[in-house]
Structure 1
């Protein structure tokens, strides 16, 4: 069994010169070649007086060599999760230089010829790494990591999973630019002496192909839920070589487990943690009902007001730290109940809803905006916004899609494409309850396909006029009728009452309908106007509505309501 070497002693202790470190499509990179590459990067970084350098590489072996080279040159490495223009621009304010696959305008450092000298033991108390994530305030948050924190986390992984992964090659779908990928596909394999593939397996077909190439040699797969929940059955999954599959970076849906068990041979080992806290707990759901998380070695937890607190060697000190997660203690560990802040994960990328909302408001096209997550085959973001005069003017001149695109463009430099909003609702005011609070349920209701997309044109205390775009995708057209669809009368009454309740305080109880008339049909993809008026008479309120368009009146009637508001 290969000796485990702590990161601070990794190069000083050394391995045999022919020991395999990494593998790419062309060759196996042995220890002698790798250590020479580290020396070249150490020489390059040593020639610069700065102490803080940002690294972004596509190739994992080159990244690993540059990382160790920077550390042995006494530098602190900043680890951006992407190379988007906005990300690099912000990094320029805090780092002294760049290395890797970044624009030439940033003058990235390149490795220089050098020979490996005697390697020194690295300082465990030195801050060696800074990772970035989004804070609850919406501003990017820099998280410094001492080498001791990384060493303790790698040691915990080896203590918990080392025997199961002995002798395995490391395959990965995740980037080493994220703390999960950095630990599991770079630092842990280097310490444990496991060879890792230098390329990231971006698609399920890549995973299947990599398994077929390495078979029958043992392998472990460092994966994300985004990949594990989309495993095509038609591929040739030679999973007999897989010793373990790891999943982290986001929740793995229970619906993905049967395919993982069948195609990959076992349920993934799910690891729960964060950039701030490091790894906290793990579970392996061989059965769907096995939901409890077990803490990793060295982690102590407690719960106060449903919030998880932890004490961990992966943190900067020994004090108890509150997480952003709500949990429930169980006899076998704990269960996660959801996050307590406004940070969500989409395709394993942490997204600050607050930061995105501030970016959208900066377009000066909106008066107010809220972002919410919509469930479905994949989690996606939706925008609920109140356009200002400039926003509505854009809609009038170029259509709703133009405003949609303007808002997406405002986020493009700072947000990964997979996390950009996919749905939009433009309204006159945010829905609010009796306590003047906008609830998540009220925002979700705006995306009910039965609700019309309406724009408020005029409004007074007891009257309003709206424009409605009648979408052909409305479920009210289903089956009514197949050859010549028309909007049912019951849908028109429902729309009138729904929109009136959003505009006026109306009694809850429906009493009766009066003088209801349907004069002309409403067709898909038409635009109509809705006129609403309310009149209070004692304990009753009468809502009068009329649907009109360029062809005349379509429908009209009165709805009488009563009871409490």
Structure 2
């Protein structure tokens, strides 16, 4: 494709991008960076042996402007740009036959140098600005096998979808700066926060916002603006955010999964905009859209998209959605079950077993395989625990059979410590949303009379409150001299006090410090959870902590008071270990609603 087909800015001084530090980048500056980046890429390629196939280049950047420069430099050099969702260790090791690494790739394992935009800036004068872009993109998703699958995309396919989005929403987003809380490493973010503003000559903000309050404040400075969001971010809204600044937004887009009706209505009330939801996938690109105003739950196909249903062998299940559009090579049968209503359709759930949580498709098989590789685990099963009365959102649950070593850890340190070890082991290979949030330790995976473990049987383990079976072991608890519980009145805060003494033979004492045995901070937190659940009947599972402070060491034979206050409305437990005027530690612990 030619330059004029991709970039719609009117002149070199036009605002191209707002940098992460707030500085403005003009089209002229982008042209200079692109010319230099293209020259650097060409020099690197000239040092490699010649080949008839496309050179494979891995591209990962957290900064959208840097990603943009390398993206078009690679396309101009006729590269196959491999664009993974993250740069985690497992992702890096799975990438094969990579000739060039661009962006943020940690060194090691014999990997070649990864080039950053700083290398472009220090390179001085570059070559000529490229005018033709002919490479291809390789994106990744999870298929029905549970393993990541590569999806090849040509630039004309992506720009054809951009043209359809522009035809649908062009007048709404005219002159809008683009602010995003989603990554450009995914097809939705790449299309909506990068390629679309480039083709229509609009500016984009280079950083991916973590703080929505900051996004809303920046919307005023960059007005008119639009917010490229996801259902997870919109559903986790905070009423304290400066929603009055949302009047400077022209629209809020959301994609990655259906937005719950109550969340769409809440955003409309707070921001004054009903979110525009885009339905699609990496394989298909955009398929349809909806706004849930007036209770609408149906999706309308995008311009030039044809939808129908695929007949399946089962007459008991709703049919699968079939899609045909200019940006996919041939008809595609999705794994989404639907009900057609005229030319529109209603989504009725997934047919495959790939989990989709907070817009990320997760291979449950991969999580189970990684867990089972730990010396602390014999076997594990992972499943999606749906949003409902017991939990505020969809999350992953892990059913774990500990090994002999794992059982020893469980008996000595307790469940919380074992879970922390397992989560730390998983973290290098998984995105945060793919880490199990709810854990059950069992002697064996439940099976039915046929020797199988259906989902319903596994769910029973999580739906019953079995936390007491895996509470802090008695050998890990302090000696209790007295307890005092103050009854709650009209669901107000509940409080308790425990007078305790630290035994000299507590298993956790040795080895924490070389010079002297002390009670580790994590054990103090476990004690707060244990006595909070035991004395105040706190429902739900431990979910997180905040404002944790350790002021004085807690040592053997020490006497202490543990003060507990639980707020049922906020599901938060405030704890404090002290003796007289001396405070050992304090903090707040949060629990999921039971």
Same fold (TM over 0.5): yes
Shift of 1:345: 2.5
- Cα distance, 1:53–1:384 mapped onto 2, change above 3 Å: same
- Cα distance, 1:37–1:203 mapped onto 2, change above 3 Å: same
1:95 maps to which of 89, 95, 98: 98
Alpha carbons 2:2, 2:131 under 8 Å: kept: no
- Cα distance, 1:142–1:161 mapped onto 2, change above 3 Å: same
Aligned ranges 1:177-256 → 2 under 5 Å: 177-214=185-222, 217-236=223-242, 237-256=244-263
**Separation in 2, partners of 1:255, 1:199:** 29
Residue number in structure 1 paired with 2:276: 269
3-state SS, counterpart of residue 70 of structure 1: helix
Alpha carbons 1:342, 1:354 under 8 Å: kept: no
**Separation in 2, partners of 1:7, 1:270:** 31
Residue number in structure 1 paired with 2:540: none
Alpha carbons 2:172, 2:251 under 8 Å: kept: yes
Residue number in structure 2 paired with 1:302: 308
What is the TM-score when the length of structure 2 is the normalising length? 0.70
Residue number in structure 2 paired with 1:438: 453
Alpha carbons 2:8, 2:201 under 8 Å: kept: no
**Separation in 2, partners of 1:20, 1:381:** 43
**Once the two structures are superposed, what CA deviation does each residue of 1:473-496 show, in whole Å capped at 9, x if it has no partner?**
xxxx999xx999xxxxxxxxxxxx
**Separation in 2, partners of 1:169, 1:314:** 26
May I ask how many residue pairs the two structures share in their alignment?
454
**Once the two structures are superposed, what CA deviation does each residue of 1:11-51 show, in whole Å capped at 9, x if it has no partner?**
69874211221122443222111111111111111112261
**Separation in 1, partners of 2:238, 2:306:** 39
- Cα distance, 1:8–1:276 mapped onto 2, change above 3 Å: farther
Q: Is residue 2:285 matched to residue 1:278?
A: yes
Alpha carbons 1:57, 1:100 under 8 Å: kept: yes
Residue number in structure 2 paired with 1:344: 355
**Separation in 1, partners of 2:424, 2:467:** 26
Aligned ranges 1:144-163 → 2 under 5 Å: 144-163=152-171
Alpha carbons 1:59, 1:198 under 8 Å: kept: yes
Alpha carbons 2:231, 2:359 under 8 Å: kept: yes
Alpha carbons 1:203, 1:227 under 8 Å: kept: no
Residue number in structure 2 paired with 1:41: 37
**Separation in 1, partners of 2:260, 2:186:** 21
Instruction: Name stretches of at least 5 consecutive residues in structure 2 with no aligned partner.
Output: 49-54, 313-318, 477-486, 497-532, 536-594
**Separation in 1, partners of 2:260, 2:233:** 11
Alpha carbons 2:308, 2:323 under 8 Å: kept: yes
**Separation in 1, partners of 2:414, 2:246:** 50
Alpha carbons 1:136, 1:354 under 8 Å: kept: no
Shift of 1:276: 1.6
2:439 maps to which of 393, 400, 424: 424
Shift of 1:358: 1.3
**Separation in 2, partners of 1:253, 1:188:** 26
Shift of 1:10: 4.1
Alpha carbons 1:427, 1:454 under 8 Å: kept: no
Residue number in structure 1 paired with 2:427: 412
Shift of 1:88: 2.2
Residue number in structure 1 paired with 2:59: 55
Alpha carbons 1:246, 1:271 under 8 Å: kept: yes
Alpha carbons 1:204, 1:230 under 8 Å: kept: no
Q: Is residue 2:327 matched to residue 1:314?
A: yes
Alpha carbons 1:54, 1:95 under 8 Å: kept: yes
Moved more, 388-397 or 55-64: 388-397
- Cα distance, 1:157–1:94 mapped onto 2, change above 3 Å: farther
2:299 maps to which of 293, 302, 305: 293
Aligned ranges 1:543-554 → 2 under 5 Å: none
Shift of 1:280: 1.1
Larger radius of gyration: 1
Root mean square deviation, CA, Å: 2.9
1:176 maps to which of 170, 184, 196: 184
Shift of 1:248: 0.7
**Separation in 1, partners of 2:2, 2:177:** 19
**Separation in 2, partners of 1:405, 1:483:** 28
1:84 maps to which of 58, 82, 88: 88
**Separation in 2, partners of 1:116, 1:242:** 39
Residue number in structure 2 paired with 1:66: 70
- Cα distance, 1:171–1:7 mapped onto 2, change above 3 Å: farther
What is the TM-score when the length of structure 1 is the normalising length? 0.74
Instruction: Name stretches of at least 5 consecutive residues in structure 1 with no aligned partner.
Output: 1-5, 456-466, 470-476, 485-522, 526-565
Aligned ranges 1:107-118 → 2 under 5 Å: 107-109=113-115, 110-111=119-120, 112-115=123-126, 117=128
**Once the two structures are superposed, what CA deviation does each residue of 1:81-107 show, in whole Å capped at 9, x if it has no partner?**
12222222323x331121123325551
Shift of 1:226: 2.0
3-state SS, counterpart of residue 162 of structure 1: helix
